[in-house]
Amino acid sequence: MAFGSRPVFSGLSCAFPSSRISVILGGSGSGKSTILRLIGGLVRPRAGRIEVAGRDVTRLSERELYSVRETLGMLFQGGALLDSMTVFDNLAFPLREHTDLDEAAIAHEVHDRLDAVGLRGIDRLLPNQLSGGMVKRVALARAIIRRPTILLCDEPFSGLDPISSKRIEMLLRRINAQLGMTVVLVSHHIESTMRMADHIVLLRSEGRLEGTPAELAASGDPWVRAFLTEDVDEAMLPEAG
Amino acid sequence: MILTPIRELGFFVLRVIADLGRMGVFCAEIVRAALTPPMRLRSLLDEIYKLGVLSLIIICVCGLAVGMVLGLQGYNTLVTFGATQSLGAVVGLSLVRELGPVLTALLATGRAGSATAAEIGTMVATEQLDGLRMMSIDPIDVVVTPKAVAMVLVMPLLSALFIVCGIGGGYLVGVHLLGVDGGSYLSSLESAVDWRNDVAGSLVKALVFGVLVGWIATYRGYSSAPTSAGVSAATTATVVVASVSILIFDYFITALWGV
Amino acid sequence: MNRSPGRDLLVGLFVLAGLAAIAYLSFAVGGLSFNETGGLVLSADFDEIAGLKPRSQVVISGVKVGQVTSITLAGDDRARVTIDVDATLKLPSDTSASIVTAGLLGDRYISLQPGGDETLLKPGDTITFTESAVILERLIGKFVHNSDVGKAE
């Protein structure tokens, strides 16, 4: 898998169990966000297969990908809300496009999701009037508005204060528990990862490591242990060059 | 090594052809989206507002100014032949046949074309288009097509308004400033300008230019690199490519229209 | 969706203004008309047409009644001009057609002077009395030539 002339990774193979919360960890530039984009079909690998709910998305045309994406929800790192529309219209948009719900039903769904992410009364605001954390929460509400079976989140906790972070964490765990939604998230936030993840994929230059939090915490590799306990010794840093 | 520049040239030509191919596919996608429901009239109206209504001032002011200059220049030339009563014809023909559609299109490229390219390019950079794709919504259908269609519809309207303002400008200068008889101005205008040869051709040009600007501006924005440098490059490319295309197509339409 | 009735009004006004401009240019300036009455097709032969073109106007007493549809070379090297005029016109068979210039440097057009005959021209008839176009240069040349001859005498 390469962007232009920069190879992101090659020979990667991993799996995300359904109905579980999986977290992708790794250093910057290791390709964490790229994996999510590959799953969503936004980028194509040079070679290989990616199976989403049994269908190989590398083989599908753009049209066919749209039908796969009916069951996917994605939270982008920057939110990716449509900046010319209000919060309400942003959330209502996929419902208006793909369902026959009347406006009252749509309003119900929208307010339901906004409540779930802890936001109220911001219907009429535009995205550029929201704080970074609020944008993320609205984007998450939008990602789950069509009740997807698989939820992909790119750094859901970055830029959030501890309270909002915790709220998102609880929300993700709740929808996983109640709806059986498969959740795959990319994160830098080790603490919540260790709490909520059923499965961790750790990307590193030597290849990936997969396992439960407990398995990885018990790893013999000092780099892995340091990474997971956020206790990085200066001596471990590469030579400044 | 002499082979390197030749290889570079070949590579460049292939890139241009590949780019044209992508543009062709892009255009086909827009046409398909424009012809299939839902028709997105709300978006179309919004775009007509952004591209048409907001361009009105610059179009009308420039039209008036160009008409005034034509009035002045035309008078200076005609007075040596004692034919100043034909000023209306000179101003009208210049505007209707060439200056109206071409200058309107160039002004619209600078204003509306670059705005469109920048807007779409920014949406690419902020992942808004990817967000739409992940919601199983085609960005071409929702974002690109209303803008392109609006540009095609708006161009003939702006061109006609430019021409009318220009005729008015010529009248102001010729009749009120330089003493040409108002009745002669209008009657020479009306007898010289012919519907089939001049006005119809002018509208066809405006439509074609609208297609060109709409297509190029949306394509450049859509395929821009997702960075601020990419957006800026898309904007300048839009203005350059669209301007050159307008002038080249102007020649061909002018040449073929008389046939 | 920013529903704004103010914007919609402006869009509507803009479109109306644009269509009005197009209509003005097409009808008032360009002379497009939907009731192109014509129907009475006549022909006339001239020695010299000098700049008369197809679509040039045909006029009676200054009022436009039709236009020139085609100009060809007739058998005797004269120019055969075909005109299409208002079908409701009643033109006597001794009507004459002359090629006139609008102003000194203006366009050429055909002016018809109806005669007084009882019989009327029918579609396809030929106008027999024609007056060719005056070419300014020849007129001046003749004038110069005559004045030279006058001087010589």
Contacts A86 to C, Cβ<8 Å: 2
With contact defined as 3+ CB pairs under 8 Å, the chains touching A are B, C
Q: Mean pLDDT throughout B17-31?
A: 91
pLDDT at position C142 is: 81
**Which residue in C has a C-alpha nearest to residue A92's C-alpha?**
C1
**Which residue in B has a C-alpha nearest to residue C7's C-alpha?**
B49
What is the DSSP pairing of strand C57-60 with strand C63-73? antiparallel
Cis status, amide bond into B38, omega within 30 of 0: yes
Query: Distance between CA atoms of B202 and B104, rounded to whole angstroms?
Result: 11
Query: Distance between CA atoms of B129 and B223, rounded to whole angstroms?
Result: 11
pLDDT at position A91 is: 92
Task: Please check whether residue A73 is in contact with residue A144, taking contact to mean a CB–CB distance below 8 angstroms.
Answer: yes
Among B42, B86, B163, beta carbon nearest to C25? B163
Contacts A84 to C, Cβ<8 Å: 2
Least Cα separation, residue B125 to chain A (angstroms): 10
pLDDT classification of B210: cutoffs 50, 70, 90: very high
Report whether pLDDT(C104) > 70.
no
pLDDT at position A178 is: 81
CB of C15 within 8 Å of any CB in chain B? Answer: yes
Report whether pLDDT(C117) > 90.
no
List pLDDT tens digits, range A44-59.
Answer: 877 777 777 777 777 7
Q: In what order do the strands lie in the sheet with A199-204?
A: A72-75, A150-154, A182-186, A21-26, A199-204, A207-211
Q: State what percent of residues in chain A have pLDDT above 70.
A: 88
Beta carbons within 8 Å of C87's beta carbon, 6+ residues apart: C37, C38, C39, C40
Segment among A87-101, B64-78, B136-150, C41-55 with least mean pLDDT: C41-55
pLDDT at position B140 is: 92
Q: Mean pLDDT throughout B234-245?
A: 95
pLDDT at position C45 is: 85
Mutate to test the interface with B, among A39, A66, A96 (most CBs of B within 10 A): A66
Report whether pLDDT(C105) > 70.
no
Report whether pLDDT(A236) > 70.
no
CB of C10 within 8 Å of any CB in chain B? Answer: yes
* Higher local confidence (pLDDT), A72 or A55: A72
List pLDDT tens digits, range A153-210.
Answer: 998 888 788 888 888 888 888 888 888 888 888 888 888 888 888 888 887 776 677 7
Is B137 in contact with A97 (Cβ distance < 8 A)?
yes
pLDDT classification of B238: cutoffs 50, 70, 90: very high
pLDDT at position B168 is: 94
Q: Mean pLDDT throughout C127-134?
A: 80
**Which residue in A has a C-alpha nearest to residue C3's C-alpha?**
A85
Is B136 in contact with A98 (Cβ distance < 8 A)?
yes
User: CB under 8 Å, gap of 24 or more: what pairs does B231-237 form?
Assistant: B231/B117, B231/B118, B231/B121, B231/B122, B231/B124, B231/B125, B234/B117, B234/B118, B234/B121, B235/B114, B235/B117, B235/B118, B235/B121, B237/B117
Among B128, B134, B137, beta carbon nearest to A40? B134
pLDDT at position B157 is: 96
CB of C1 within 8 Å of any CB in chain A? Answer: yes
Average pLDDT over all residues of chain C: 80
Report whether pLDDT(B253) > 80.
yes
Query: Distance between CA atoms of B77 and B89, rounded to whole angstroms?
Result: 13
Is A69 in contact with B133 (Cβ distance < 8 A)?
yes
pLDDT at position A241 is: 41
List pLDDT tens digits, range C81-102.
Answer: 888 888 777 888 888 888 888 7
| ipTM for the predicted complex | 0.84
CB of B126 within 8 Å of any CB in chain A? Answer: yes
pLDDT classification of B166: cutoffs 50, 70, 90: very high
DSSP label at residue A234 = G
Helix, strand, coil content of chain B in percent (nearest 5): 90, 0, 10
Average pLDDT over all residues of chain A: 81
pLDDT at position B27 is: 92
List pLDDT tens digits, range B62-82.
Answer: 999 999 999 999 999 998 988
pLDDT at position C62 is: 78
Contacts B132 to A, Cβ<8 Å: 82
Report whether pLDDT(A227) > 80.
no
pLDDT at position C1 is: 45
Report whether pLDDT(C6) > 70.
yes
List pLDDT tens digits, range A75-117.
Answer: 998 888 998 889 999 999 999 888 888 889 889 989 988 888 8
pLDDT classification of C34: cutoffs 50, 70, 90: low
Query: Residue type for B66, please?
Result: V
